[in-house]
């Protein structure tokens, strides 16, 4: 994948921002370096787990040790069992003969365990509507600001909607992102009806000919039932106001929460039709396997991954790059 942001958004012209193969390679190299740094804690934890693996003995103890390492990395039991069974099958066929071939197969099989759905973000509508959901503290509002910034860089005009009307800080944070990025924010007073502000936001986008509407939402985990009913209502309002919308519903998950993130993802998937996941704060966790657990067990594509605070730290997700950096050659017997 070239990692040109024009390829991240379905419906954006490919002739913007990045032109030459040299420029594309430079950007890709920078993002790979960021991802490598972001996965450092997870990679180190895996190295420690694999340190005692005897790669010259392909017996039951090897597979058990690999299972333990993957589960420790928060890959999840279901996904781990599937990966190890696939590794054993390849070993039985003679495809795995040494540590190098084992790591290569681990990368290949793991990559295939990610959801294979389209990872592009659909903005090929006028206006396109992106609904961003997730519990408070997962980086929803920051993610919205970064997506808006990238759209502006590509010549698109985003409009932000403060659908989290229950937290004054959420409204203020989104307004600040609008100021920073240079785009309008539609907001109501704190405590207002989220459906009403969303309705007004779409109307404003049509009147002002904005290209993309990005909607923030509440995420009060301690009132799960009410939260989910509220999100269902917001989706209904969006669909009535603009048939076919939202065109994307992205779930923001904090990678540092590990298996709790998987629980959250299940909860949101039951309530609203998700199109993909944005995995944030990957640089702060040693449990990077959560990306695989969420994608495989819930059959959801990881669309974006956050590896830091900078605007450029939100990256397109590429399963092959991710697994290559997570399971690098240092997992071998030289550790």
Q: How far apart are CA 152 and CA 158, in angstroms?
A: 7
Phi first, then psi, for residue 198 (nearest 5°) are -65, -45
Dist. CA 64–CA 83, nearest whole Å: 12
**Where is 161: in which H helix or E strand?**
strand 158-162
As a whole number, mean pLDDT of residues 165-172 equals: 88
What's the pLDDT at 334? 45
> For residue 242, what are its two tokens?
């603009």
Token pair 């942001």 in the structure block, residue: 5
Rounded to whole angstroms, the Cα distance separating 81 from 88 reads 11
At 1 the pLDDT is 42
Q: What is the pTM of this model?
A: 0.91
Where does the pLDDT of residue 188 fall: very low under 50, low under 70, confident under 90, or very high at 90 and above? very high
Q: Please state, rounded to an integer, the average pLDDT across all residues of the chain.
A: 88
What does the pLDDT average to over 158-176?
93
Q: In angstroms, rounded to a whole number, what is the distance separating the alpha carbons of residues 286 and 74?
A: 9
What does the pLDDT read at residue 168?
A: 78
Query: Following CA atoms 304, 305, 308, 314 in sequence, which dihedral angle do they give, to the nearest 10 degrees?
Result: -20
Evaluate whether 18 touches 4 at the Cβ level (below 8 Å).
yes
- Compute and round to an integer the Cα radius of gyration of the chain: 21
Find out whether 167 and 218 touch, Cβ atoms under 8 Å: yes
pLDDT value at position 226?
Answer: 82
- CA nearest 143: which of 276, 242, 324? 276
What average pLDDT does the segment 223-241 reach? Answer: 87
- More confident call, 30 vs 188: 188
pLDDT of residue 335: 37
| pLDDT, average across residues 104-115 | 96
Q: Between 20 and 59, name the one with better pLDDT.
A: 59
Q: Is the peptide bond before 321 cis (omega within 30 degrees of 0)?
A: no
CATH 3.40.50.300 fits 121-318, yes or no: yes
Tell whether the model's pLDDT for residue 62 goes beyond 90.
no
* The predicted structure's pLDDT at residue 2: 45
Q: Is 50 exceeded by the pLDDT of residue 208?
A: yes
| Lookup: tokens for 54 | 């005897």
Instruction: Report the distance separating Cα 330 and Cα 320, nearest Å.
Output: 17
Q: What is the pLDDT of residue 34?
A: 82
Question: Percentage of the chain surpassing pLDDT 70?
Answer: 89
pLDDT attached to residue 321: 93
pLDDT at 106 over 90: yes
């Amino acid at each position: 994948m070239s990692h040109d942001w024009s390829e991240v958004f379905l419906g954006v012209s490919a002739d913007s921002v990045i032109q030459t193969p040299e420029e594309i390679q430079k950007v890709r190299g920078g993002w790979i370096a960021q991802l490598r740094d972001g996965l450092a804690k997870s990679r180190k934890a895996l190295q420690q787990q694999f340190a005692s693996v005897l790669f010259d003995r392909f017996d039951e103890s090897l597979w058990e040790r690999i299972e333990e390492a993957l589960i420790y990395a928060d890959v999840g039991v279901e996904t781990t069992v599937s990966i190890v069974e696939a590794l054993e099958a390849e070993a039985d066929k003679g495809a795995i003969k040494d540590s190098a071939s084992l790591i290569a197969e681990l990368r290949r099989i793991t990559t295939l365990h990610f959801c294979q759905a389209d990872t592009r973000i659909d903005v090929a509508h006028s206006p396109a509507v992106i609904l961003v959901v997730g519990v408070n503290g997962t980086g929803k509002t920051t993610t919205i600001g970064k997506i808006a910034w990238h759209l502006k860089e590509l010549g698109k005009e985003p409009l932000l909607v403060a659908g989290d009307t229950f937290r004054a800080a959420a409204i203020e944070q989104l307004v600040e992102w609008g100021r920073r990025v240079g785009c309008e924010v539609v907001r109501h007073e704190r405590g207002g009806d989220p459906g009403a502000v969303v309705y007004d936001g779409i109307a404003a986008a049509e009147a002002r000919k904005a290209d993309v509407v990005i909607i923030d939402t509440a995420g009060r985990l301690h009132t799960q039932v009410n939260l989910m009913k509220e999100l269902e209502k917001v989706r209904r309002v969006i669909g009535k106001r603009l048939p076919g919308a939202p065109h994307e519903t992205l779930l923001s998950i904090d990678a540092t929460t590990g298996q709790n993130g998987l629980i959250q993802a299940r909860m949101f998937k039951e309530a609203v039709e998700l199109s993909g996941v944005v995995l944030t704060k990957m640089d702060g966790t040693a449990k990077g396997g959560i990306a695989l657990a969420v994608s495989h067990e819930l059959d959801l594509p990881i669309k974006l991954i956050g590896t830091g605070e900078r605007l450029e730290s939100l990256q397109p997700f590429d399963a092959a790059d991710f697994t290559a950096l997570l399971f690098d050659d240092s997992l071998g017997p030289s550790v």
